[in-house]
């Protein structure tokens, strides 16, 4: 390990610079993950009825590594006819095979899928990082193990639905159309497919157009594990393909995770039909630090809450509320911590912050930074180097934010933290709830009573206390208000796939 000298941060205009001089911070030698063991085909077709088939559209689109700009593969662009074939395959498999199969046999397939994800964990992690830009540490330690755990967890429920819902005789629904975003591609596929299959439904899933590869690799597992044809169908494409799923008359349930804007469109589209709907949408979480909090742990929690996965997390703690008496010390410690974060090659195991997922998202985040500047906010970014190529944005603090700022009201979905102060508990509850979203929140305090008081008053589906961004297949996840409705994970995650 060599020592590196990092230049002192430029003091933000109008604020006293209290940050440490970081002479002598350790620099790690590069530790890139190997990608020679993985195979990415030059072209991927649609996975329909257990086979990879050419799209009727005859069209393909590129999927690109956002850290390098290099094309990884081209992927089929499904049109309405392709979606119709996938729905027919799913209907046939539902009517003739899957809904008739004894529940414990369904469970065995789910266990098999879980084990095969574990066996191929390294391959999945590398492909997730190459296609999505997130650091290999996250893909390896969070996305892939959690995806396998979801299949394990729901495999266990498959033959115990009568115990899960005593005296209620739950029944499967039919064909589920599932549409997912790009921030946790494999994990979101697992969140959707595992409970649907465990409850006896069949699936047509569409991954995001910027991160289709791990869902297609998952399709390979579906083939290898002998899953009956048509039980899981994977169609790739953008919004038009998603809309074809939403509007297909033979789909019984839509499960959507993505932006609030598209969620609103989908809710209108299914209104008046008998399709069931769950929406997991955007967020603008409040992360609250009281003066009695363990400050160093809280700072680590804040960093994990917003800079993890480049801030591409629906439940990211993107609004920080610090009690006034500790604001100076918290901000100083935050700046110091940001100075030590490593931004760059997502394939390097030392990297904390990888690449922004797409050019569109990169432009959108930079546009919000411009808005913040025009709104007169003090912007702090560490002086660390970032690669000259690829889509990288330094972690950013917006220091003198207030409720009326656009960057406080809207979801940025990037590594940008807006900081406000508060004096009383009533004030922070009102400010935290003053948003159209209601997905998650975080509280740091030494007092259990304060935690219970806040968790009942914060309008958020998930509230973490003295920790942040912790996920578990046994815990339900979902929002209030414009963050959507319905729960995924846990016992609650079975309900949207059942009729009672």
List of long-range contacts for 350-353, beta carbons under 8 Å, 24+ apart = 350/28, 350/30, 350/31, 351/135, 351/136, 351/137, 352/135, 352/137, 352/307, 353/135, 353/307, 353/310, 353/392, 353/395, 353/415
Is 195 among the residues that bind ligand NAD (CB under 6 A)?
Answer: no
Instruction: Out of 128, 209, 314, 482, pick the active-site residue.
Output: 314
Among 181, 200, 438, 489, binds ligand NAD (CB under 6 A): 181
Is 441 among the residues that bind ligand NAD (CB under 6 A)?
Answer: no
- Taking CB under 6 A as the binding criterion, the range among 92-100, 114-122, 165-173, 203-211 that sits at the site for ligand NAD is 203-211
**In DSSP terms, which residues pair with 75 in a beta bridge?**
44, 61
Is 242 among the residues that bind ligand NAD (CB under 6 A)?
Answer: yes
Is 209 among the residues that bind ligand NAD (CB under 6 A)?
Answer: yes
Is 138 among the residues that bind ligand NAD (CB under 6 A)?
Answer: no
Q: In the window 473-492, what residues touch ligand NAD (CB under 6 A)? A: 479, 483-484
With beta carbons less than 8 A apart as the criterion, state whether 315 and 440 touch: yes
**In DSSP terms, which residues pair with 320 in a beta bridge?**
287, 419
SS3 (DSSP) at 223: helix
Instruction: Out of 123, 280, 482, 488, pick the active-site residue.
Output: 280
Count of CB atoms situated within 10 Å of the CB of 270: 18
CA 271 from centroid of its chain's CA atoms: 26
Q: Is 314 a catalytic residue?
A: yes
Q: In the window 222-241, what residues touch ligand NAD (CB under 6 A)? A: 238-239
Among 183, 278, 318, 351, binds ligand NAD (CB under 6 A): 183
- The residue behind tokens 């922070």 is 428
Is 179 among the residues that bind ligand NAD (CB under 6 A)?
Answer: yes
Distance from C-alpha of 315 to C-alpha of 190, rounded to nearest angstrom: 18
Q: Which residue is nearest to ligand NAD (CB)?
A: 242
Distance from C-alpha of 457 to C-alpha of 310, rounded to nearest angstrom: 29
Is 321 among the residues that bind ligand NAD (CB under 6 A)?
Answer: no
CA 275 from centroid of its chain's CA atoms: 25
Q: Which is nearer to ligand NAD, 200 or 207 (CB)?
A: 207
Minimum separation from the CB atom of position 240 to ligand NAD (A): 8
Q: Which is nearer to ligand NAD, 180 or 419 (CB)?
A: 180
Residue among 65, 80, 336, 116 at smallest CA distance from 226 = 116
Whole-number CA gyration radius for the chain: 23
- Taking CB under 6 A as the binding criterion, the range among 40-48, 95-103, 174-182, 287-295 that sits at the site for ligand NAD is 174-182
The number of residues in the chain equals 500
Minimum separation from the CB atom of position 269 to ligand NAD (A): 8
Q: In the window 379-438, what residues touch ligand NAD (CB under 6 A)? A: 411, 413
Minimum separation from the CB atom of position 259 to ligand NAD (A): 3
Distance from C-alpha of 381 to C-alpha of 416, rounded to nearest angstrom: 10
Is 265 among the residues that bind ligand NAD (CB under 6 A)?
Answer: yes
Minimum separation from the CB atom of position 184 to ligand NAD (A): 6
Is 87 among the residues that bind ligand NAD (CB under 6 A)?
Answer: no
Among 280, 348, 352, 482, binds ligand NAD (CB under 6 A): 280
Q: Is 384 a catalytic residue?
A: no
With beta carbons less than 8 A apart as the criterion, state whether 58 and 78 touch: no
Q: Which residues have a Cβ under 8 Å from the Cβ of 100 and sit 6 or more positions away?
A: none
Residue among 458, 461, 432 at smallest CA distance from 323 = 432
Q: Which residues are catalytic?
A: 280, 314
Residues near ligand NAD (CB under 6 A)? 179-183, 206, 208-209, 238-239, 242-243, 246, 257-259, 262, 265-266, 280-283, 314, 411, 413, 439, 479, 483-484
């Amino acid at each position: 390990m060599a020592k590196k000298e990092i230049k002192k941060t430029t003091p933000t205009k109008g604020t006293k610079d209290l940050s440490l001089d970081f002479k002598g911070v350790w620099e790690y030698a590069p530790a890139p993950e190997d990608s020679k063991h993985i195979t990415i085909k030059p072209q991927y077709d649609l996975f329909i009825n257990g086979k990879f088939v050419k799209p009727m559209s005859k069209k393909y689109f590129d999927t690109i590594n956002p850290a390098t700009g290099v094309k990884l593969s081209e992927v089929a662009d499904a049109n309405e006819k392709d979606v119709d074939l996938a729905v027919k395959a799913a209907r046939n498999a539902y009517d003739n095979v899957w809904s008739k199969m004894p529940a414990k046999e369904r469970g065995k397939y789910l266990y098999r899928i879980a084990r095969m994800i574990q066996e191929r964990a390294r391959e999945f992690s590398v492909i997730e990082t190459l296609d999505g830009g997130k650091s290999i540490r996250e893909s390896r330690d969070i996305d892939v193990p959690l995806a396998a755990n979801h299949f394990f967890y729901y495999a266990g429920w498959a033959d115990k639905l009568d115990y899960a819902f005593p005296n209620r005789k739950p029944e499967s629904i039919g064909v589920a159309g599932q549409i997912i975003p790009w921030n946790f591609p494999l994990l979101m596929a697992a969140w959707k497919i595992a409970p649907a299959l465990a409850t006896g439904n069949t699936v047509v899933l569409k991954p995001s157009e910027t991160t289709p590869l791990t869902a297609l690799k998952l399709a390979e597992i579906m083939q290898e594990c002998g899953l009956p044809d048509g039980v899981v169908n994977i169609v790739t494409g953008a919004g038009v393909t998603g809309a074809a799923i939403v509007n297909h008359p033979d789909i019984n349930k839509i499960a959507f995770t993505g932006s609030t804007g598209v969620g609103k469109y989908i809710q209108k589209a299914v209104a008046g039909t008998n399709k069931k709907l769950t929406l997991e949408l955007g967020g603008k979480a409040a992360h609250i630090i009281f003066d009695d909090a363990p400050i160093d742990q809280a700072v680590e929690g804040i960093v994990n809450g917003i800079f993890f996965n480049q801030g591409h997390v629906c439940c990211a703690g993107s609004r920080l509320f610090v009690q006034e008496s500790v604001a100076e010390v918290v901000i100083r410690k935050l700046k110091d911590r940001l100075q030590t974060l490593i931004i760059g090659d997502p394939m390097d195991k030392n990297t904390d912050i990888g690449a922004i997922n797409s050019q569109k998202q990169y432009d959108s985040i930079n546009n919000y930074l411009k808005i913040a500047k025009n709104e007169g906010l003090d912007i702090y970014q560490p002086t660390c180097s970032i690669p000259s190529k690829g889509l990288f944005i330094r972690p950013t603090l917006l220091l003198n934010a207030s409720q009326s700022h656009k960057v406080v009201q809207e979801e940025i979905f990037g590594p940008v933290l807006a900081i406000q102060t508060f004096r009383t508990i009533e004030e922070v509850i009102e400010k935290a709830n003053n948003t159209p979203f209601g997905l998650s929140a975080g509280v740091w305090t030494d007092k259990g009573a304060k935690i219970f008081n806040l968790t009942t008053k914060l309008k958020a589906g998930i509230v973490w206390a003295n920790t942040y961004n912790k996920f578990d297949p046994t815990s339900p996840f979902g929002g209030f208000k414009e963050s959507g409705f319905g729960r995924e994970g846990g016992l609650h995650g079975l309900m949207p796939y059942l009729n009672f």
